[in-house]
Homo-oligomer: A and B are copies of this chain.
């Protein structure tokens, strides 16, 4: 059995999941695309394949190998208990259960060991910034812990979905034509503008995005005292986030060690040419699976401190690809498990 349901399939992240499944050779008829009532019954053509959008009830009408929840926290909250009654592996891309003790929060390259397939049938995929920056920094922390990480982000429209991506384009067009435009995606104008990340405030000072980054990093690194602070900013780019990261390591480390550790890490790609002042940009990293890194610079004014420039596709490794890789982990586990049963019998 290799049937997949994607809840939220018409969203920016959901569509990437569909493409990942098709690229992997999945038979389109084993793919169930689920979206909200207003889309049900409509057909959607992806990579020349036509799909009919199904309603949420479909998920309870047949059995699936995996269900991806990519429709936001509210839908995930409504479904978790119901889905837990099915014999199914669920990967949640929303933030709703990321801090639950019994829900592993997984970046396959970083902490796959936190996922126990015998026990866990509901897994969360982290916040996009958290995944992207940890892909580059976590391999270093295994060797040399961070005393502190300070991030400033340059976050693309895609984090707020298709609507924000489309609005950025339409509002920019209106701006260029001196036309008025009533923006709706964010409270601030977006065309040729930027603003503090639109996540709501729960804490008096950090917005929810900044809090997620802290809490999720601590959980993924299994270090509740891990010190990270971030300022999250929405910039007028489309689908790749950039992150300016400043790291104070707890012990001395040299550039050679950093480059060598990162060279061994998977899923990331060095992109820097100091002589040409050429480093990764959101346009380079868009639609790429790898997280790009570079501009690794020692701060000459301080001991053990380095700057990193990290850029990655928000919809891919920041969301859909990471969730897909969690599913791939599960398949590898099953293959291995089936194989060991066969050989031991």
Contacts and interface: CB of A to CB of B under 8 A. Distances in A.
Contacts of A196: 277, 279, 295, 309
Given A229-B246, A282-B193, A277 B150 contact: no
A278 interface: yes
Contact of A277 (B207, B227, B231): B207
B194 A235 contact: yes
B192 A238 contact: yes
A236 interface: yes
B237 A274 contact: no
A289 B165 CA distance: 32
A208 to B, nearest CB: 10
Contacts of A277: 187, 196, 198-201, 207
Contacts of A250: none
Contacts of A201: 274-275, 277
Interface in A188-230: 188-189, 192-196, 198-201, 204-207, 214, 227-229
B188 A274 contact: no
Nearest to A237: B192
Given A205-B298, A231-B295, A242-B233, A168 B192 contact: yes
B188 A233 contact: no
Contact of A231 (B192, B301, B309): B309
A96 interface: no
Identify whether the interface residues of A are mostly helix, strand, loop, or mixed: mixed
Contacts of A169: 176
The residue among A154, A229, A275, A302 with the most chain B CB atoms within 10 A of its own CB is A229
A151 to B, nearest CB: 9
Interface string A274-288: 111111011100000
Interface of A: 148, 150, 152, 154, 168-169, 172-173, 176, 187-189, 192-196, 198-201, 204-207, 214, 227-229, 231, 233, 235-238, 242, 244, 246, 274-279, 281-283, 295, 297-302, 305, 307, 309
5 closest A-B pairs by CB: A152-B152, A152-B244, A205-B297, A227-B301, A229-B299
Given A152-B244, A187-B276, 13 more contacts: A169-B176, A172-B176, A176-B176, A189-B283, A192-B282, A194-B237, A205-B297, A206-B300, A229-B300, A229-B305, A231-B244, A231-B307, A233-B244
